[in-house]
Amino acid sequence: MTLKFKPWLNQLPEYVAGRTIEEIKKKYNLENVYKLASNENIFGPCRQVKDFIKNSAGQDVNYYPDSDCREIRGKIASVFGILPENVILGNGTDQIIEMICDCFVNDDENVVIADPTFLIYEKAALKCGGSVIKIPLKDFRQDIPKMADSVNAGTRILFLTNPHNPTGANITKGEFENMMGKISSDILIVMDEAYYEYLSEGDKIDTVGYTKKYLNLITLRTFSKAYGLAGLRVGYGIAGSDIISGLNKIRLPFNVSSIAQKTAVIALENKGYVNDIRDKILKEKEKFYCVFKTEGISFIKSYSNFILVRSGEKNTEIVEELLRNGFIVRPGENLGIPGYMRVTISIPEINDKFLKAFIKIYKNYNS
């Protein structure tokens, strides 16, 4: 007799996890390895968060966390001028995406996503017995009119990512407003804004404001990226109270740890820090652009803290050679964009080292 796993398990797309620093250190006998593969904030969280983790994060760990995340929900509500009942916390945004599909997608229903896009949307939808309608990117951007037109009677959710991952491209306010004006109010629109804090002020869309007007809209943000807390797993969703109370019905009671809740509060109290990070990243990004242009290497203009760069047919070899030199990047083959690679923008010193190594390797394989 063998165990009977559910059949859909075999259909789930596989997340090819990035290589770890330890793994690469050991494999190539390296002292320094730089992970530039998962778009983390290499500067780390703000000093106040670091101090808290060092000095008092261990207090009260024998108690369960606040199941309702009251303090952090109150904080988010006051920062955005909304009510705590409009906020839900997750063990990373990933978990909220999962909850959303669990709440809205039945067998034989579908969600509309871009192709390629962040993998979790598809995984969460398939897990519910649903399917995905994939709309190819157009010039590396989400084809929003086409996505909106592809909605059919079985569609429950439209997932959008701004800035997009893995391309770093943006969605304009005009594109967003046109789409919201057209789409039926019984379709849930998910605006995944994991990299929102990296947008310049003029490029930001006030999606939180729009959640008051559109009761079929949910905005997702995270502390994993610009706030530098990826390891603690905390993300949040903002929407009308009907959506939030639906999600709360299936949320596991203690889904966000007490340390994650507290550090998120401290991170928001020092919100100015993420603007400093954004400005530093903007400056570094210009450096990447400049080097790529000088070398005649094409890339996609990024609104985020990573760049998709055209490494060419020898991409696999280039990525491997970068590993041997201590740089972990994400090969486009794993992201649905062969011939490209995605690199996280790091601190100046590491960026300089990376660019030097990359250009040398790139030239070796493209001469």
Ligand X SMILES: *Cc1c(COP(=O)(O)O)cnc(C)c1O
Q: Is 197 in the site for ligand X (CB under 6 A)?
A: no
Q: How far is the CB of 90 from ligand X (least distance, A)?
A: 7
- Distance, in Å, from the CA atom of 67 to the CA atom of 80, rounded to the nearest integer, reads 22
Give the binding range for ligand X (CB under 6 A) out of 137-145, 200-208, 220-228, 331-339: 220-228
Q: Closer to ligand X at the Cβ: 156 or 225? A: 225
Q: Is 142 in the site for ligand X (CB under 6 A)?
A: no
Q: Is 255 in the site for ligand X (CB under 6 A)?
A: no
CB 239 within 8 A of CB 211: yes
- Distance, in Å, from the CA atom of 166 to the CA atom of 39, rounded to the nearest integer, reads 10
- Distances in whole angstroms, Cα of residue 73 to Cα of each of 214, 261, 268, 329: 21, 9, 11, 35
Q: Is 194 in the site for ligand X (CB under 6 A)?
A: yes
Q: Which two tokens stand for residue 335?
A: 């992201």
Q: Closer to ligand X at the Cβ: 234 or 244? A: 234
Q: Closer to ligand X at the Cβ: 230 or 357? A: 230
Identify the CA nearest to 258 among candidates 88, 50, 66: 66
Angle between helices 258-269 and 70-80 (to 10 degrees): 20
- Distance, in Å, from the CA atom of 231 to the CA atom of 236, rounded to the nearest integer, reads 15
Q: Closer to ligand X at the Cβ: 100 or 355? A: 100
Q: Is 219 in the site for ligand X (CB under 6 A)?
A: no
Q: How far is the CB of 92 from ligand X (least distance, A)?
A: 3
Q: Mark 101-140 with x for binding to ligand X (rule: CB under 6 A) and - for no binding.
A: -----------------x----------------------
Identify the CA nearest to 209 among candidates 87, 85, 82: 82
Strand intervals (E) in the chain: 34-35, 87-90, 110-115, 131-136, 155-161, 188-192, 217-222, 235-239, 306-310, 327-328, 330-331, 340-344
Q: Is 192 in the site for ligand X (CB under 6 A)?
A: yes
Q: Closer to ligand X at the Cβ: 95 or 311? A: 95
Q: Is 199 in the site for ligand X (CB under 6 A)?
A: no
Give the binding range for ligand X (CB under 6 A) out of 65-73, 104-112, 140-148, 224-232: 224-232
Q: Is 230 in the site for ligand X (CB under 6 A)?
A: yes
Give the interface with ligand X as residue ranges (CB under 6 A): 92-94, 118, 161, 165, 192, 194, 222, 224-225, 230, 235
